[in-house]
Every structure is written in C-alpha cells, then in structure tokens.
Amino acid sequence: MRPEILFPLFAEPTKLDGVGPKTAPLYEKLGIAKVVDALFLPPSGVIDRRLRETVQGAVEGTVVTVRVTVGRHSAPGRRGAPYRITVSDGILDFTLVFFHAHPEYLVRILPQGEERIVSGKIEIYDGVAQMPHPDMVIDPDDGETPDGFEPIYPATAGLNQKAIVKAIRSAVTMVPDLPEWQDAAWLSKQGWPAWRDAVRALHSPESATDIEADTPARQRLAYDELLSHQLALALVRAKRRRSKGRITKGDGSLRKKVEAALPFSLTGAQKRAAEEIHGNMAESKRMLRLLQGDVGAGKTLVAFLAMLNAVEVGGQAALMAPTEILARQHLAGLESLCEIAGINIVLLTGRNKGAERETILSGIANGETSVVVGTHALFQSDVIFKDLRLAVVDEQHRFGVNQRNELAEKGAGADILVMSATPIPRTLALASYGDMDISVLDEKPPGRKPIETRMVSLARYEQVVESLRSAIAKGARAYWICPLVEESDIIDLAAAEDRARALRRALGEDVVALTHGKLKPAEKDAAMASFKAGECQVIVATTVVEVGVDVPEASIMVIEHAERFGLAQLHQLRGRVGRGSGESSCVLLYQGPLGESARARLAVLRETEDGFRIAEEDLKLRGAGDLLGIKQAGLPQMRLADLAVHTDLLEVARDDARLIVSQDAELKTARGEALRVLLYLMGRDDSIRYLGAA
Ligand code: ADP
Ligand code: MG
C-alpha cells in the first residue's frame, strides 16, 4: 500500500491552484493526472525577467522587464488600430500597444505620470520599440517584482503559461520531506541536493542553463527515475531467479555432431554467447537471457545449440516466433540440423486442428518430440511437455517486460532465452532489458557481401522503375517499401495501393504483390509466401513487411520516402536483402530537398552496415525518445532522464539496483524502506509484490 506521506501527491490535479474540474482534463493532456505528475514535468524553457535599466540595446523578440514612467495614452484613431501608451524608462521612450483594448481598464492600471514595472516582449515597429500586450504590469508600491527567471512549460491548447506555472508552483509547495533513498556517499560525491530541494530547483530556474539536463538537481531527479526503474526490473529478475530452475548440463554429444557437420565454424561472438548460455543453464537458478544481434548475425544457430544442450539431458526445447510464417521459416532452417542430431522436431501453430493436433500434442507429451517450433499457440493450456527445459522466444521486438513475465510464469522452471534483432546501444539495452542478462553477437559471419546502397531522388522514379524492369528480366526479386505517411492507416494504404498499381502497369500484372497492415494475417502470409516462392517478383509493402522473413533470392530493396524513416528502421529494412550469394542493392528513394538531419541519417546508412554503429548514430541524431526501433524494443518512457544524455547514470543505476536487491531483497533496511517510498512515488507499485527473501 502506498505510504501515507505520499497521499497529497497522489491527489487529483484539481487540488492544484487554479485547476478546476473544467481545466483538469487539459492538465491530463500535459501528462498531469495526479499532483505528483506536475512535479515531474520539466520546464522546456526559461524567461529572463530580471529588471533591466532600459529597453535600449534589448534584442528584438526577447522579453524585457523595466521600470517606466507612464506617459500619454492615445486611443485608436480608427477601428482596428491599437491603443497606445507612451512610456519612458529614463533612457528610452517606447510604446505599450494594446489591440481590442478596454480604455477604462488601461487608465486604471497605467495612470499617466505614475511609475510601473512592465515586462513583455520587445518588438521594433516603424523604427520605434514597442511592447505589445505586456505580460506583467506591476505597481512597485504594492506589487511583487517578478522573479528573476520564470520557467516555461510545454503548453496545451486552452492553458496559458501563467496558469500552468501557478499550478506547478502550488504542486511544489505540497512536496513532503521524504526519507533519503539514495546512498549518502554517492549523493555527496555527486554533489546532488536532497530530493525536495531538487524538485524546487527544477521549477525555479535561476538562469537559462538551469533547465539543462546536466544540472545537479536535474541529474539527481533523473537518477531517481532511472534507479526506480532499474530497481523494479531487478526485483522482477530476483523473483524469477528465486523460482526454482533446473540444472541442465548436457554432455555436448549432440552439439559436437552438429558443429562438425556445419560447413563453417562459429564466430567468436557465437562461441562466447553459447558459453554464457550453457553456463546459465548449468546453474540451478532459472536463466533469463537476451541474445541480441543484428539480422543475420547467427542467433538462431546459437539458440539451437542451447536447445541441443537441453535435449542432451533428455529434455525438450521450444522456439516461439511471433507469426506463423516466421515459425515455418525457423522450422525449415532447423529441420536439417535436427536430422543431423537425430532428434525429432515439430511445428505447432493455431492452424493445427483435430486429429493432427492430437498427434502433435501426444508426441510433445510423451517426449518423442524434442524440439517444438510454434507461435503463441505453444502456450495454450492443452500443450503439455514431458520435460520442457528451454523456451526460446524469437522476440522481433514485440514483447515487453510484462509479456516476458507471463511467459516465465507459464514455462514453469524452464530456462528462457529471448532473441532480439534490434541493435540498440548497450546502455539502452540495459534500460529495456535490465531484468535480463545479455549476450551480444557483435560480429557477423564472414563472407557476407556488402549491400550497395544508393540515394536517388524521387524525381528519377522512372529510371528506378526502368532498372527494376531489367533486373526482374534477369530473375531478380525486389521489395518496394512505402512509408507511414501519417498516423492514418487509410492514407498509407492508399499510397501503397497506388504504388502497386503503377508498378503493375509498368512491370506486368502478375509480377507485383501487395501487403499491408489492413490485411488479415493469413492474407499477409499468403502475399509473403507467393513472393518467397517466386510466384511474383516484386512485393509492395507498407512497413508491416515481416522483419524476420527470409527470402534469400530477394536482392533489391527500394525504400520510398526514405527520408521519413528512422535509421534503425531503414537498417532493419535493408537487412531483408543481402542474404543470398549474389550482389544486392538498396535504393533510398527520397523526396528533395532533404533537411539536414534526414541527409545525415541517410549518409550514415550509406556508410555502414553495422547495426550497432547505426543505432549509436541514430541515438545521437534523434535522441532516445524518438528511436523507432527502441520504442518497439519496449523502452520505457522517461520523464526526467534523457537516455541520450544520462547514459552513464543508467549504468550506475543498474549496478546500484542489483546490489540493493542482492543485499536487501525485501527492502527492509532503512534505505530499503526509503526505496519503497521511491517506488511508490514513481508509480511502480507493481514491483512491490516482487519483494521477497533471497
Ligand atoms: P539471425 O538469426 O541472427 O538473423 P541466422 O541464425 O538466421 O541469423 O543466420 C543467418 C545465416 O547465417 C544462416 O544461413 C546461418 O546458417 C548462417 N550462419 C550462422 N552462423 C554462421 C557462421 N559462423 N559462419 C557462416 N555462416 C553462418
Ligand atoms: Mg534468424
């Protein structure tokens, strides 16, 4: 249960100054559903309202605050003209300008001959400085002079800055003094303030640089956020590791047989990953490991060796893929290897019905079948394994922490290996997979031919189609990707349909297939299958094109409006070709003129095929929040931590969290109690139920 000390922070936003039932929904749009959310909304800018001597020398368009003597009022001479008041700051005369003014009101707040402090944006009009609609008019005799600096928050329609500032300021006054959850030595080494002071500092910037991500206050708050997240993951991980696992330590006989039959030897990275995995399986704790590697890095083979390890001790292994077509592809890849090993493999999907399904299930139940490949149908309750020791999940970035938990609960006692083809920088992998151990295949099998990558303007569409025509005549197969135009599926679909129609006209009716997100899974599979079988030579796809589908004969990838894709996604798409023995190419069709960042993205792609390097560049170019591949990888949304800036802190947070859990798994020490408050404060109530003795 949430500790009482936090209750005020979890009240409705109507408890904030100036927020009523009408405006509360607008605050929710800003992400403020509870008082506490207001604390964690960082200012996006800062206005300098320090009192200046004079308007003279001010940069046009900036906010200026000066003390003035009010001069003459001039009412508009014609309709639509503004009401003007001449004022003087002692050095310069300038004009306050009001459209649609109420003269009585202006006469009252700006009486001629009196002193006032005014603050607002300075503009130059006809060579004369003017301040249209000052933000503030203060009588120095009874008003407060403005703070030196004022935070600016991201706005939403219907809420003005003044209201947001007021609401957030009131949230800050409700902040209780909470027990310190950070390690005292670490805090003082970093020179970070206490939490309450940090919150106050965040919302009272004292200079323009005070809102940057590297101030002590901001770093502290970012670290709190990262630590709470990593702690939640570490608790999940610890809970899972407490659940009894099995010792699986095969004699290597099957693995030796298969390795000897391979026409190549394992890469160094594959050997390393295999050792890590087999080491984990030999422990009595349950394994939860991520096997990360670029498309084609050889993950499947590593996973298969782990499966053989399970089979060597008389156990079974399952491989789960996100779609039926991917499951079939895995089956096709593994069948011959299973034959070499002399073990049985079977495919189980939602399509197996009746007697056929019964036969498959009985083979799994009596242990005749050693390896089962399938879709999520594998985890239906009637699927009973004789002795499941290893579950491999081909993730294709579709599962989050919650689904992983579910899976872990279903495959009682079995070790779990998750394969992911999203190359994300190591630190970001920590953020999304902090609950897992990680093996990385950062080395590609030798002998891969580079993919020739070209940038071509859409203006040269006809030429691209011409060269496609001659390639097809020689038997080539090509993907043609149409982008996500808008959030709207309908527009995407129209664009893809138009393109398919145009290509059919140019290349022939039967040559071109079309697949997109609106099709039923079976229809999508059918389109892909006809392309895979070579019944058609071009497949037009929106980005639904199955990232893991392997068509080694495909050697051309055309990406239309490449400038609209993120780097990670372009890399994934390009990875669809270059899998066969021939030359392959990727055409980045762009719509000019290219913006600077789009140009930089495409240039990176042309330069390298190294997924990890591309991911790092993408991170630099776009910041963590925007990384498409990373969103897919289930990266948590952070409010104060910026994963592109605070990467070092992320690593520390992970180590810190694991240490805490290993020493105080029930969070019972004084620091542990304080950390519970942190978890609740950060809305990680869920993770509390994973507390438990080591
Ligand atoms: P991933 O699952 O990482 O996308 P795969 O395991 O499907 O990669 O491997 C891609 C291809 O590379 C397969 O045809 C596989 O047989 C081959 N391969 C795997 N490991 C090696 C290696 N060490 N040397 C050469 N080829 C390899
Ligand atoms: Mg694969």
Q: What is the pLDDT of residues 24-42, one digit of tens each?
A: 999 998 889 999 999 999 9
Residue 100's CB is within 10 A of a number of other CB atoms, namely 9
Q: How far is the centre of ligand 2, averaged over its atoms, from the C-alpha of 324 (Å)?
A: 14
- What is the token pair recorded at 386? 């004789």
Residues 6+ apart with CB under 8 A from 377: 348, 349, 350, 352, 383
Say yes or no to pLDDT of 668 above 60. yes
pLDDT tens, position by position, 226-278: 999 999 988 888 887 777 788 999 999 999 999 999 999 999 999 999 999 99
448 CA to middle of ligand 1, Å?
10
The SS3 call for residue 690 is helix
pLDDT at 630: 46
Q: Which residue has the tokens 């049985």?
A: 344
Specify the 3-state DSSP secondary structure of 50: coil
Q: Judge whether 436 and 291 are in contact, CB under 8 Å.
A: no
Task: Name the percent of the chain lying above pLDDT 90.
Answer: 55
User: Does residue 627 carry a pLDDT above 50?
Assistant: no
From the CA of 581, which ligand is nearest? 1
The neighbour count for residue 484, using CB atoms within 10 Å, is 19
Task: Please report which helix (H) or strand (E) contains residue 39, including its range.
Answer: helix 35-39
Q: Of the candidates 501, 500, 550, which has an alpha carbon nearest to the alpha carbon of residue 528?
A: 550
Q: Which residues contact 10 (CB under 8 A, 6 or more apart)?
A: 2, 34, 35, 36
- Whole-number Å distance, alpha carbon 400 to ligand 1 midpoint, is 26
How far, in whole angstroms, is CA 351 from its chain's centroid? 33
The residue contributing the CA closest to ligand 1 atom 15 is 298
Which of 362, 569, 361, 415 is closest to 481 using CA atoms?
A: 569
Q: pLDDT category, 491, cuts 50, 70, 90? A: low
Query: 595 is written with which tokens?
Result: 């913006």
Q: Which residue has the higher pLDDT, 492 or 486?
A: 492
Give the separation between CA 207 and CA 49, rounded to whole angstroms: 10
Q: Starting from the CA of residue 442, give the closest ligand.
A: 1
Distance, in Å, from the CA atom of 36 to the CA atom of 32, rounded to the nearest integer, reads 8
Write down the residue that tokens 């005020």 correspond to: 8
Mean pLDDT, residues 115-139 taken together? 92
Query: By alpha-carbon position, which residue is closest to atom 11 of ligand 1?
Result: 296
Predicted local distance difference test score (pLDDT) of residue 119: 95
pLDDT greater than 60 at residue 612: yes
Exposure on the CB side of residue 59, measured as CA atoms within 13 A: 3
- Atom 23 of ligand 1, nearest CA residue: 266
Protein residues whose CB sits closer than 6 Å to any atom of ligand 1:
264, 266-267, 270, 293, 295-301, 421, 445
- What lies within 8 Å, CB to CB, of 640 at 6+ separation is 40, 42, 202, 218, 221, 222, 224, 225
**Closest ligand to residue 420's CA:** 1
DSSP state of 245: -
- Tokens coding 674: 């304080």
Please tell me whether residue 111 adopts helix, strand or coil conformation.
coil
**Cis bond before residue 593 (omega within 30° of 0):** yes
- Take atom 10 of ligand 1 and give the residue whose Cα is closest: 296
Atom of ligand 1 nearest to the CA of 297: 3
Q: Which of 19-28, 83-92, 420-429, 532-541 shows the lowest mean pLDDT across its residues? A: 420-429
User: What distance in angstroms lies between residue 301's CA and the mean position of ligand 1's atoms?
Assistant: 7
Domains within the chain, CATH numbers bracketed: 4-46+153-211 (no CATH), 50-146 (2.40.50.140), 253-441 (3.40.50.300), 451-608 (3.40.50.300)
CA-nearest of 610, 521, 615, 515 to 569 is: 615
Residue 490: per-residue pLDDT? 59
Q: Which class for 145: exposed (0-12), middle (13-18), buried (19 or more C-beta within 10 A)?
A: middle
Structure tokens belonging to residue 189: 């080494």
User: What's the rounded mean pLDDT across residues 460-468?
Assistant: 95
Lowest mean pLDDT among 131-140, 191-200, 598-607: 598-607
Q: Using most ligand atoms within 8 A of CB, pick from 258, 300, 373 the residue to mutate for ligand 1.
A: 300
- Closest-lying ligand 1 atom to the alpha carbon of residue 441: 3
Does the pLDDT at position 629 exceed 50? no
Return the percentage of the chain with pLDDT > 70, whole number.
92
Predicted pLDDT of residue 686: 80
**CA triplet 300, 302, 307: central angle to 5 degrees?**
90
* 407: confidence class by pLDDT, cuts 50, 70, 90: low
Q: 264 C-alpha to center of ligand 1: Å?
A: 10
CA 295–ligand 2 middle distance (angstroms): 7
Residue-wise pLDDT tens digits, 315-332: 999 998 888 888 888 999
Point out the ligand nearest to the CA of residue 552. Answer: 1
Q: How far is CA 21 from CA 12, 16, 18, 38, 372, in A?
A: 10, 11, 10, 16, 56
User: Ligand 1 center to residue 148 CA distance, Å?
Assistant: 62
Give pTM, 2 decimals.
0.70
Q: Report how far ligand 2's centroid is from the alpha carbon of 611 (Å).
A: 15
Residue 282 is predicted with a pLDDT of 96
Stretch 583-598: mean pLDDT, rounded?
89
In the predicted model, what is the mean pLDDT of residues 631-658?
79
- More confidently predicted of 463 and 411: 463
Residue 428 contacts residue 624 (beta carbons within 8 Å): yes
Q: Give residue 544's pLDDT.
A: 57
Could you tell me the distance, in angstroms and rounded to a whole number, from the CA of residue 396 to the centre of ligand 2?
A: 10
Give the number of the atom of ligand 1 that is nearest the alpha carbon of residue 299: 3
**Atom 5 of ligand 1: nearest residue by CA position:** 298
DSSP for 491-510, written as a single string: HHHHHHHHHHHHHHHHH-GG
Which atom of ligand 1 is found nearest the CA of 303?
Answer: 6
Confidence of residue 628 (pLDDT cuts 50, 70, 90): very low
User: What was the pLDDT predicted at 253?
Assistant: 97
pLDDT score for 158: 84
Mutate which of 270, 301, 330, 441 for ligand 1? The one with the most ligand atoms within 8 Å of its CB, which is 301
SS3 state of residue 650: helix
Nearest atom in ligand 1 to the alpha carbon of residue 266 is: 23
333 alpha carbon, closest ligand = 1
Residue 599 exposed, middle or buried by CB count within 10 Å (0-12, 13-18, 19+): middle
Q: Which atom of ligand 1 is nearest to the CA of 294?
A: 3
Atom number in ligand 1 closest to CA 301: 6
Tell me whether strands 538-541 and 477-481 are parallel, antiparallel or unpaired: parallel
363, with CB counted inside 10 A (0-12, 13-18, 19+), is: middle
Identify which ligand lies nearest to the alpha carbon of 303: 1
- Segment 152-200, tens digit of pLDDT: 998 888 888 889 999 999 999 999 999 999 999 999 999 999 999 999 9
350 CA → ligand 1 middle, Å:
28
Distance from Cα 296 to the centre of ligand 2, integer Å = 6
Structural contact between residues 301 and 307, judged by C-beta atoms closer than 8 angstroms = no
Ligand 1 closest atom vs CA 548? 4
- Where does the pLDDT of residue 534 fall: very low under 50, low under 70, confident under 90, or very high at 90 and above? very high
Query: Ligand 1 centre and the CA of 613: distance in Å?
Result: 20
At CA 180, angle to CA 175 and CA 183, rounded to 5? 145
Q: Confirm if 588 and 480 have CB atoms less than 8 A apart.
A: no
* φ/ψ of residue 556, rounded to 5: -125, 130
Q: What is the DSSP string of 551-590?
A: -TTEEEEEEETGGGS-HHHHHHHHTTSS-SSS-EEEEEEE
Per-residue DSSP letters for 534-549? Answer: TS-SEEEE-TTS-TT-
694 pLDDT above the threshold of 60: no
Contacts for 603-609 with beta carbons within 8 Å, 24 or more apart? 604/567, 605/453, 605/567, 605/570, 605/571, 605/574, 606/453, 606/454, 606/455, 609/450, 609/451, 609/571, 609/574, 609/578
Q: Are 449 and 310 in contact (CB under 8 A)?
A: no
- Closest Cα to atom 6, ligand 1: which residue? 298
Q: Which ligand is nearest to the CA of 299?
A: 1
